[in-house]
């Protein structure tokens, strides 16, 4: 999909620690800056943003879509906030703010992937101060903290980049106290440390359909 954005508009950059590594192959859909934007591709739909319709600084970015193509996830700037919040979009509900793990939904969050059915979303969010923790969001339970690889399960940061079709296996990278290692999370096993290959520096970011 082509990147689409209004010309001569400087978009606010998302905090570095919430950005997906450059090793990932992603399609960014730059929507925002003005509802009257002209798109070269007639198949592109403007998903809008979480802020006021007349906010000239509002924008949104889509990172993931489910297998049916009817659920989109990413981040946007919500009403009354200078940070970014993860969103889940459907044709019926429009763009829904998934919030953060901090009190009163302060801080930032971003959604990177969604399962096949579109009801499980993963990404990362502010947990404490400027630290980010991986999250798994469901319609039933909302946003759940997946923790980190540190001994206390909270120190450091973690980032969830992918989820399997069933929504019960999450992958990404997390802080183990000395370095960031790949992880594979399940409800039963929690977040085991997968380590790193001898020369690899990028996290695991994709799961085969069976999980």
The least confident of 22-26, 96-100, 167-171 is 22-26
Residue 24 has pLDDT above 60, yes or no: no
* Predicted pLDDT of residue 68: 93
Task: Write out pLDDT tens, residues 110-147.
Answer: 999 999 999 999 999 987 666 899 999 998 999 999 99
Per-residue model confidence (pLDDT) at position 147: 92
Predicted pLDDT of residue 173: 94
pLDDT for res 103: 79
Question: pLDDT tier at 203 (50, 70, 90 boundaries)?
Answer: low
For residue 125, the model assigns a pLDDT of 92
At residue 25 the predicted structure's pLDDT band, cuts being 50, 70 and 90, is very low
pLDDT at 41: 54
pLDDT band, very low/low/confident/very high, at 175 (cuts 50, 70, 90): confident
Indicate whether 76 pLDDT > 50.
yes
Q: What is the pLDDT of residue 107?
A: 84
The answer to whether residue 84 scores a pLDDT higher than 60 is: yes
* Cα 15–chain centre separation: 13
Look at 126 and 57; give whichever has higher pLDDT. 126
Average pLDDT, the chain: 75
CA distance 75 to 51: 11
Please compute the mean of the pLDDT values over residues 74-80 and round it to a whole number. 81
State the pLDDT confidence band at 52, using cuts at 50, 70 and 90.
low
């Amino acid at each position: 999909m082509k990147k689409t954005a209004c010309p001569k508009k400087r978009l606010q950059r998302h905090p570095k620690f919430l950005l997906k590594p450059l090793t990932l192959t992603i399609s960014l859909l730059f929507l925002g800056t003005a509802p009257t934007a002209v798109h070269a591709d007639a198949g592109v739909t403007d998903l809008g943003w979480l802020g006021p319709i007349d906010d000239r600084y509002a924008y949104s970015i889509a990172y993931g879509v489910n297998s049916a193509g009817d659920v989109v996830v990413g981040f946007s700037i919500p009403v009354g906030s200078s940070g970014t919040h993860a969103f889940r979009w459907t044709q019926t509900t429009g763009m829904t703010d998934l919030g953060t793990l901090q009190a009163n939904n302060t801080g930032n969050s971003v959604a990177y992937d969604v399962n096949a059915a579109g009801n499980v979303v993963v990404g990362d969010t502010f947990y404490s101060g400027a630290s980010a923790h991986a999250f798994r969001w469901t319609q039933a339970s909302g946003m759940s903290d997946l923790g980190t690889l540190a001994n206390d399960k909270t120190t450091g940061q973690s980032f969830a980049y992918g989820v399997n079709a069933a929504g019960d296996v999450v992958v990404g990278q997390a802080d183990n106290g000395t370095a960031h290692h790949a992880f594979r999370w399940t409800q039963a096993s929690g977040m085991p440390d997968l380590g790193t290959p001898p020369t690899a520096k990028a996290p695991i970011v994709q799961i085969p359909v069976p999980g």
